[in-house]
Amino acid sequence: MKQCLVVDDSTVIRKVARRILEDMGFEVVEAADGQQALDACLNKMPEAVLLDWNMPVMDGMEFLQKLRTLEAGAAPVVVFCTTENDMSHIVQAMNAGANEYIMKPFDKEIMEAKFQEVGLI
Amino acid sequence: MITSEYEFLRGFLKSRSGLVLSNEKQYLVESRLVPVARRHDLASLSELINSLRKPGTKQLQEDVVEAMTTNESFFFRDKTPFEHFKEEMLPKLLEKRAARKKIRIWCSAASTGQEPYSLAMILRENKIKTSSYQFDILGTDISKEVLDKARLGQYSQFEVQRGLPIQMLMKYFTQQGEIWQVSNDLRAMVQWKFLNLLENFSHLGEFDIVFCRNVLIYFDQPTKIDILNRLAKLIPADGYLVLGAAETVVGLTDQFEPVPHMRGLYRPKQSAGKQPEPQKMANSLKAEPISARPAVGKPHVPSFSSPATNTPATQNTMRTNSASAPDKPQKFDREKLNASLDSLRRLNAQSSNKG
Ligand SMILES: C[S@@+](CC[C@H](N)C(=O)[O-])C[C@H]1O[C@@H](n2cnc3c(N)ncnc32)[C@H](O)[C@@H]1O
């Protein structure tokens, strides 16, 4: 079973994402900020990361940059999922090595479409 | 709404747009038509239906037809047809139209425009291969409202996230507040027209590819058969018909046959002894605008004289390029581009001479 790490400081978002991702056949691991996510990745590298941008402790961008320097850190497919919905943020995220980008609010259809886009399902 | 009123509406819609409503769709009719009644200052659906029966209520009639259409669409819907476009139809047609250098595509139920714009994006993504050709993309629909939206090319955040890869969003859209605007380059590639598929469309001329997706499902058998048979008259023997995931020609017409291993993709029946298609077309379509079309079946003689020199065709290519690249700051290496175009032409010439 593919593992998806859900990184978001909102428990509500994590819960919604978990439900959708489990329906899509993923095993879900949660993290509340970038640092927790990094620890989770060092413990076990997931196949996919659903990543919020603005979070306390370490934000999504910093996490992504650190992840990509890790050994095996190039492997996970990273899908940003954030309220930052302007072109400059999108460009910045993609340049930093994100694979897809979801602008909140999202729903099951968008999540499925985006995960399909990057070959995760 | 009493039964006789519902029956009247069913008959009205069937004859106007082909839409077949089953018995238990009353709720749908009510939810869609109550707002129309309100807009026309009619107190109830019964009043709306009474007005429909009267002559001189053209606007109301159109609004009713329009309100009952289902316009759902999204970018690269179902993916496969667009892969078939890129991997099968496009390469084959680039080869077969190497002399004519013109390829015509019709999205015959284009709705809010995602389908034609998806095709336009694929063409732009394959610019090197396609830029010496003229592509006509026509999007038509029975609903003027969706056509207006398609023409504007403005989509919500939700709409640009269903099926559209983020790279495509970055490349072909600009953001205007809440709205995502399709680039002028793509908009210039598509033409929009009001068209009811129940009515004659032979005046549109011949199309190498017809997308007719997710519209036949609303019609009854005789209507589907009629439309498919009339589409067959517009598609040359080496052209294609693309249907939606829940649609087929099987059991409806023998004018088309499935392209093997390509779900949803059909081509005119390749029956032995069939008159070469362009000839037939020229006879049956008086209004056909392309008169100097070479016949399929005979090898195409490419119109350029020497691939090594800078022929008018090449110059034309460069013009197309510069004219269509205003919002892409990408620079072209002229020589490299010319070189690859030349080798492409040579390839085309070889394969079409082989027949
Ligand atoms: C579900 S949409 C399909 C859009 C697109 N082809 C796709 O597959 O995503 C169906 C469209 O067919 C149009 N339509 C319905 N009846 C029609 C008719 N008689 N002639 C032309 N278009 C029609 C509707 O207005 C609607 O926009």
Please, are residues B327 and B184 in contact by the beta-carbon 8 Å criterion?
yes
* Tokens 């409806």 belong to residue: B252
Nearest CA in chain A to B74: A113
> Rounded to the nearest 5°, which phi and psi values hold at B133?
-105, 155
Number of domains in chain A: 1
> Rounded to the nearest 5°, which phi and psi values hold at B249?
-100, -15
Distance from CA of B180 to the nearest CA of A (A): 10
pLDDT tens readout for residues B80-107: 999 999 999 999 999 999 999 999 999 9
Give the strand order in the sheet containing B102-107: B190-194, B134-141, B102-107, B209-212, B240-243, B265-268, B256-258
The verdict on residue A74 lying in a domain is: yes
pLDDT tens readout for residues B246-274: 999 999 999 999 999 999 999 999 874 44
Q: Which alpha helices (H) appear in chain A, and where do they start and end?
A: 11-23, 34-43, 60-69, 87-95, 108-117
The verdict on residue A121 lying in a domain is: no
> Given this model, what pLDDT does residue B273 score?
43
State ipTM: 0.95
Distance from CA of B163 to the nearest CA of A (A): 6
What are the residue ranges spanned by the domains of chain B?
3-70, 80-278
Q: Whose CA is nearest to atom 7 of ligand 1?
A: B73
> Given this model, what pLDDT does residue B1 score?
85
- Asked if B166 and A90 come within 8 Å (Cβ–Cβ), the reply is yes
> Given this model, what pLDDT does residue B270 score?
84
> Given this model, what pLDDT does residue B171 score?
98
Q: Which CATH topology does B80-278 take? A: Rossmann fold (3.40.50)
The verdict on residue A119 lying in a domain is: no
Residue B328 pLDDT class (50, 70, 90 cuts): very low
Q: Which range has the worst mean pLDDT, A6-10, A61-65, B48-52, B54-58?
A: B54-58
Q: Which range has the worst mean pLDDT, B24-38, B115-129, B160-174, B333-347?
A: B333-347
Task: Give the domain CATH number at A102.
Answer: 3.40.50.2300
Q: Choose between A58 and B310: higher pLDDT.
A: A58
Across residues B144-162, what is the average pLDDT?
97
- Which residue of A92, A111, A114, A118 is the best one to mutate when testing the B interface, meaning the one whose CB has the most B CBs within 10 A? A114
DSSP B160: G
Q: What is the reported pTM?
A: 0.82
Q: What is the CATH number of domain B3-70?
A: 1.10.155
Tell whether B40 is within 8 A of chain A (Cβ): no
pLDDT at residue B156 is higher than 90: yes
- Residue span of the structural domain in which A47 resides: 3-114
